[in-house]
Amino acid sequence: MTEQDCLFCKIVNGDINADIVFENDSLIAFRDINPKAPTHVLLIPREHIATMNDLEDGHDTLAGELFLTAARIAADEGLADDGYRVVMNCNAAAGQSVFHIHLHLLGGRTMGWPPG
Ligand code: AMP
């Protein structure tokens, strides 16, 4: 998978439309096209990073920003008090299907545990 072929890089570049809920210089958050909960937002870095295994020391601020922004969006979506889940799938066994890291923010329903 090259960056040219990467679906989420195409969203970053504006080549594919997305329902964007937040963006800044380093990340974009948009609604999942096939939501698994009433609120399902994906947070992605603008930088192409294929999997969580590819995070490096220089990504510490970016990784923190993904979580901080997820918490802020959860609050904006009215999920903070009831609760919500954030998930990052890494590679095939976890179910990763798009190889550009993304944090799932899911809320608006009661979640089961452990996840499938
Ligand atoms: P994962 O299985 O963790 O890699 O998650 C990939 C997610 O991307 C899935 O929940 C898909 O529904 C979502 N997805 C795929 N294509 C799009 C798209 N064009 N816009 C928004 N979400 C998408």
Position 115 in a domain: no
Helix (H, G, I), strand (E, B) or coil at 53: helix
> Does pLDDT of 2 surpass 70?
no
Q: Tell me which of 88, 98, 102 to substitute to probe ligand 1's pocket, judged by most ligand atoms within 8 Å of the beta carbon.
A: 98
Question: How far is ligand 1, taken at its centre, from the CA of residue 80, in Å?
Answer: 23
Domain annotation covers residue 116: no
pTM: 0.97
Q: Kindly report the average pLDDT of the chain as a whole number.
A: 97
Look at residue 112 and tell me if it is in a domain: no
Residue 113 lies in a domain: no
Which residues fall within 8 angstroms of residue 65, CB to CB, at 6 or more apart? 26, 27
Phi, psi of 7 (to 5 degrees): -55, -45
pLDDT tens readout for residues 27-80: 999 999 999 999 999 999 999 999 999 999 999 999 999 999 999 999 999 999
Q: Show the domain range for 35.
A: 3-107
Active-site hit among 40, 59, 102, 104:
102
Rounded CA separation 26/39 (Å): 22
Question: Does any domain span residue 26?
Answer: yes
For residue 103, the domain's CATH number is 3.30.428.10
Q: Is residue 114 part of a domain?
A: no
Residue 114, preceding bond cis, omega within 30 degrees?
A: yes
Q: How many domains does the chain have?
A: 1
